[in-house]
Amino acid sequence: MRLLATLLLCMSFSVAWATEANTPKLDIGKGGECVRDTQWMRKNHMHLLKHQRDETVRKGVRDEQVSLKNCVECHASKSDNSVVAREDSFCAGCHRYEAVKIDCFECHASKRRAALAKKDEQ
């Protein structure tokens, strides 16, 4: 019994250590919990985005809270205003780790509106 307990303890340590060591360290920008908790969002953000994209494009229902534009406004890096520019950027970091290609930003702006406006003036 004691052996089993020790074994379990060792395994849980190693799992914890592995998770800590390998998960990407993200530049989360402003961060915060605006829609749902972090773990839920990690698992389900794509469903929210996909649902909202159809609502917005086809029906004109614009919900600020779950719009991709709004996600970028908060989660873009504070140093380069982007969610995909670097390896640790908010979107790119995780998607690289999970090996899931995102094509959102081939059309959608990946930078904060303020950063784009500044570029226009130059």
What's the closest the beta carbon of residue 28 comes to another protein, in angstroms?
19
Task: Say how far apart CA 84 and CA 82 lie, in whole Å.
Answer: 6
**Closer by beta carbon to another protein, 72 or else 92:** 72
- Give me the residues that bind another protein (CB under 8 A), please: 53-55, 57-63, 69, 72, 106-109, 111, 113, 116, 119
What's the closest the beta carbon of residue 70 comes to another protein, in angstroms?
10
**Closer by beta carbon to another protein, 53 or else 96:** 53
**Closer by beta carbon to another protein, 63 or else 87:** 63
What's the closest the beta carbon of residue 38 comes to another protein, in angstroms?
24
